[in-house]
Amino acid sequence: MSTLTMAQPVLPPALDGRWATLMGPQLHLWWQRARQRRQLAELSERQLDDIGVTREQALAEAAKPFWKP
């Protein structure tokens, strides 16, 4: 019979307790980017024309994953 040992991941002491402070701004950026891309995909043709973006450009931008600029 095998024994399986589960270990908790350990952050380096320099990051322990500060990960939320370090990752918070990045998570917020990703959330904003995802929201803005969803909104861009929902714009009407008139709204897209007002901002100088074609439907194809808007859909291409909206299709990007949130982590890609």
Say how many domains are in the chain: 1
- Reported as a single tens digit per residue, the pLDDT across 27-55 is 999 999 999 999 999 999 999 999 999 99
Let me know if residue 32 belongs to a domain: yes
User: Does 17 reside within a domain?
Assistant: no
For residues 59 and 41, is the Cβ–Cβ distance under 8 A? yes
Could you tell me which of 24, 63, 26 has the C-alpha nearest to residue 41? 63
Q: Is there a domain that residue 12 lies in?
A: no
Residue 29 is predicted with a pLDDT of 96
In this structure, are residues 11 and 19 in contact, taking their beta carbons and an 8 Å threshold?
yes
The three-state secondary structure class of 36 is helix
pTM value > 0.85: no
Q: Is residue 47 part of a domain?
A: yes
**Number of CB atoms found within 10 A of residue 29's CB:** 13
Classify the C-alpha dihedral 61-43-55-49 as positive or negative. Answer: negative
The answer to whether residue 6 sits within a structural domain is no
Residues spanned by the domain of 40: 23-62
